[in-house]
Amino acid sequence: MPPTEPLPAPGLLPAPAVAGSEPATASDTASDTASDTASDTASDTASETPGDMASGARPLGPADVRALAARLGLRPTKKLGQNFVHDPNTVRRIARLAELEPDEVVLEIGPGLGSLTLALLPAAAAVLAVEIDPVLAGALPATVAERAPTLADRLTVLTMDALRLRAEQLPSPPTAVVANLPYNVGVPVLLHVLEVLPSLRHGLVMIQSEVVDRLAAGPGGREYGAPSAKLAWYAEARRAGPVPRAVFWPVPGVDSALLSVRRRAEPAQEAGAEVTRAAVFAVVDAAFAQRRKSLRGALAGWAGSPVAAEQVLRAAGVDPSTRAERLSVADFTRIAAARGPCGSAAGPHT
């Protein structure tokens, strides 16, 4: 596992002033409001390295991204969480940190204008790009054909909502997920693809920085919660570095970061317990819905009463006075299993 690496600000396109960032200068503002300046064009040209030429894929720079968006009549929307990466160094770093093998099939969710797609195509055998916006989905093959013609046959684009994705809809089982996830649905999308695509072995996703901290948190910390425990059911997770706001267009109002995930055996399999994921997640939801309460009180509704909750907790070897944030996903699994086969009630709760 490589060490965590920060993604340096690229300096390709100055960012406008946003909360928590350095004030923009007049030249910064002029650079940001111009859609295709001479300096942007020069920066785009300079961003193409000998490695890009050898890989067969020309990256998208700031002027390329804005020109492509203008040609498509595209205005990024908050509803779809559209913030497009325009820095070649950032997408190259993401592709490298994803640790892809040459024979891997990559699932990319929300490819947008194709910046990350162009970095992934040389590194993998195939890229399955799932895009909800029909305009972007329709334009992506042409962008790849223009900027990576020798790699275009590696790309498959599916126009659909990633939350509705099923394994049978894909031409081949993906082994890795690498994506700039829409912030408004990042967590449910990640959990969904890990659930429905058991072929996924690992991944690297970019989402809101504070969400990355919550997903990577372990038991006992302030940031640990239901999303942390649910992700731990599927995978080991760690923060893999920050991503500067300036690499996006438009510049987001929040910080971003990379989350690395690696598939693990499900806790029920490790414990030899006869319990379903849904049953375990029901315990997790009930426990964190009232996280300030002891588990005896927080799980009273789930178990039927405080007394019944205490009986189940003691059967699972968990202290009833403990709070939810102290439990690992293995603990939640034992609690669900102690209630009965598949997490159902084993008897009357009094």
162 pLDDT higher than 80: yes
Mean pLDDT of the region 59-70:
95
Mean pLDDT of the region 138-166:
98
* Residue bearing tokens 């093998």: 101
pLDDT for the residue 342: 47
pLDDT tens-digit readout, 255-311? 999 999 999 998 877 766 789 999 999 999 999 999 999 999 999 999 999 999 999
Question: Pick the residue with more confidence: 84 or 20?
Answer: 84
List CB contacts of 142: < 8 A, sequence separation 6 or more: none
Give yes or no for a contact between 205 and 188, defined as CB atoms under 8 angstroms apart: no
**Joined tokens for residue 198:** 């058991």
327 pLDDT higher than 80: yes
Domains of the chain: 26-264 (3.40.50.150), 269-343 (1.10.8.100)
pLDDT for the residue 81: 62
- Please give the order of strands across the beta sheet that includes 235-243: 155-159, 126-131, 105-109, 176-180, 202-208, 256-263, 235-243
Has this prediction a pTM greater than 0.85?
no
pLDDT for the residue 47: 59
* Residue bearing tokens 């720079």: 61
pLDDT for the residue 274: 82
Please state, as a whole number, how many other Cβ atoms lie within 10 Å of the Cβ of residue 312: 27
**Joined tokens for residue 229:** 């425990």
Q: State the average pLDDT for the chain.
A: 85
Question: Pick the residue with more confidence: 236 or 27?
Answer: 236
Question: Pick the residue with more confidence: 250 or 270?
Answer: 250
**Joined tokens for residue 72:** 């498509």
pLDDT for the residue 80: 61
Which of the residue ranges 8-12, 42-46, 101-105, 117-121 would you say has the lowest mean pLDDT?
8-12
Q: How confident is the model at residue 209 (pLDDT cuts 50, 70, 90)?
A: very high
**Joined tokens for residue 77:** 């929307």
173 pLDDT higher than 60: yes
pLDDT for the residue 195: 97
